[in-house]
Amino acid sequence: MYLDAGVNVPESDRSDSYLAQQSIQGNQERFRQLYQRYHQRVRSTMYQLCGPSSLDDLVQEVFMRVWKGLPQLRQTSQFSTWLYRISWNVACDQRRKFAQQRTFDTKLKTENSEQSSAPDLMQLHYKDLVQRGLAQLSLDHRAVIVLHDLEEVPQKEMAEILGIPVGTVKSRLFHARAAMRQFLQEQGVHL
């Protein structure tokens, strides 16, 4: 048990819903607990969706939007779904900004061609192969792979996060996995 505003609250009641309700009421300590609980997941998701560029800023943007949006959160029991939806929106915003800045694209193409011309032992590492495979996918396909296979978010919840029907989630997941399988096979990984 722990004390919260003079009330004994069992450890089991420190759920996302409880912490979100307390955060809505302005309890910064409870928001900090939510942040600590989800920081690594959000960071991992943003890394998988957007890459390492500006990762700290993107994670900070997600949690700033969460803090500002908490008063509008109606169903605190679905906090994680709402958080992933905000992460998805930040990732989409980042991708739009990235697409508009063609100078970055040119720089990345130059860096990528330099990397591919020199053999790099780290590229043989499985995680690097997965990263490169994810980079080959569209953002929609990358999102379903990251959320389902890496973050273990259920398909129904993914549909809510992405704002698409469950059938579309299943279809995207099927096609994304097929594309990843093909990429890995082309890289010499036998599945």
Q: How far apart are CA 65 and CA 69, in angstroms?
A: 6
Q: Are 47 and 91 in contact (CB under 8 A)?
A: no
pLDDT band at 12 (very low <50, low <70, confident <90, very high): very low
Name the amino acid, one letter, at 187: Q
pLDDT at 58 over 80: yes
What domains, with CATH codes, occur in the chain?
1-101 (1.10.1740.10), 119-191 (1.10.10.10)
- Mean pLDDT value across residues 2-12: 48
pTM of the model: 0.62
Give me 97's structure tokens.
Answer: 């900004």
Q: To which residue do tokens 């905000």 refer?
A: 86
Give the model confidence (pLDDT) of 123-159 as tens digits: 445 777 788 888 899 999 999 998 998 888 999 999 9
Higher pLDDT, 117 or 30: 30
33 contact partners, CB below 8 Å, separation of at least 6: 14, 19
Q: Which of 184, 177, 114, 113 is nearest to 142 (CA)?
A: 177
With DSSP H G I counted as helix, E B as strand and the rest as coil, what are the percentages for the chain, rounded to 5? Answer: 80, 5, 20
Check residue 108 and give its pLDDT.
53
- In which band, very low, low, confident or very high, does the pLDDT at 109 lie, cut at 50, 70 and 90? low
What pLDDT is attached to residue 124? Answer: 45
Query: What is the per-residue pLDDT for 173?
Result: 94
Give the residue with greater pLDDT, 14 vs 99. 14
Average pLDDT for 84-102: 81
Cα distances from 40 to residues 92, 119, 141, in angstroms, run 19, 31, 22
- Provide the pLDDT for residue 130: 81
Percent of the chain scored above 70 by pLDDT? 77
Inform me whether the pLDDT recorded for 78 exceeds 90.
no
pLDDT given for residue 101 in this prediction: 66
Confidence category of residue 117, pLDDT binned at 50, 70, 90: very low
Q: Which residue has the higher pLDDT, 98 or 156?
A: 156
